[in-house]
Amino acid sequence: HATQSIVDELRRVILDGAVPPGTPVPVGEVAEMFGVSHIPVRESLKTLTGEGLVQHRPNSGYAVAQLTASELAEMYIVRETLES
């Protein structure tokens, strides 16, 4: 599924710190990167919003969420558990 691939890749770049908090996540650019329409990108961003990694800003789209140190540590623990 395209949506799951997008979720996995965006989650990885966010958790690795490659994209700083507050960075906009433009739907059109992500769609181009993955060679898909806007629909799977929006679905992916909704999933990541539910996970707390991305925030939806009314009238400005999506951006990488500001995470506290404890939230980040908790996500790493969950990620490590899922990957092992």
Q: What is the pLDDT of residue 69?
A: 73
CA distance 51 to 45: 10
For residue 84, what pLDDT band results from cuts at 50, 70 and 90? confident
Within 10 angstroms of residue 59's Cβ, the number of other Cβ atoms is 4
CA distance 13 to 54: 12
5: Cα separation from own chain's centroid? 11
Helix, strand or coil, per DSSP, at residue 53: coil
What does pTM read for this prediction?
0.80
Q: Which domains does the chain have, with CATH numbers?
A: 2-83 (1.10.10.10)
pLDDT tens profile 4-57: 999 999 999 998 889 999 999 999 999 999 999 999 999 999 999 999 999 999
Closest CA to 41 of 72, 78, 15, 4: 4
pLDDT at residue 78 above 80? no
